[in-house]
Amino acid sequence: MKERILITVRTYPNISAKHIETVCTGGITDGGQWRRLYPVPLRYVEGNQQFKTFDIVEVDVRPADDGRPESRKPEMPSLKITGHVDDWPARCDWINPTIVESLAAMQAAGRTIGPVAVREVLEFIAKPSAADCPPKQN
């Protein structure tokens, strides 16, 4: 099934014995459904398929077998970048309708990915990360 998805988040590439290197990607369909796309070998796809955050893509997907309702396996040869959403108000038009009031509300709706409204920030701690990657990730 072909879906039109606004890409909202991409993870850092992970080394994968099965897929060489993968990026887990999240986004919202034009119907307001969150999607988790995996595996995505982003650095190994054709240049015209190298999507960025807030690009709109069309891609054939099939349900994944990881038990999460939003997860889809993308058919990478079918992926086409069809647009980009530059400004925050337009991005909010896609994202705001999907915000839930709490993690409990998200779970009650059967969702496993998406934005949750924050009522209060209790603490924020920033720590430097390790400078070196494990040898298998270099």
- The pLDDT value recorded for residue 35 is 97
Cβ neighbours of 110 (radius 10 Å) = 9
Q: Report how far Cα 17 is from the mean position of its chain's Cα atoms.
A: 21
- Calpha distance 88→65 (Å, rounded): 34
Q: What is the pLDDT along the chain (138 residues), one digit of tens a residue?
A: 999 999 999 887 777 666 677 788 999 999 999 999 998 887 777 788 889 999 999 999 999 999 999 999 999 999 999 999 999 999 999 999 999 999 999 999 999 999 999 889 999 999 877 666 555 544
**Which domains are present in the chain?**
2-122 (2.40.50)
pLDDT at 17: 66
Specify the amino acid at residue 98.
Answer: T
pTM score: 0.82
**Cα–Cα distances in Å, from 68 out to 18, 43, 55, 109, 125?**
20, 25, 24, 12, 30
Q: Is the dihedral of CA 89, 91, 97, 100 positive or negative?
A: negative
Burial track 1-15 (b if 16+ CB lie within 10 A, e otherwise): eebbbbbbebeebee
Report the pLDDT value the prediction gives residue 138, as an integer from 0 to 100. 41
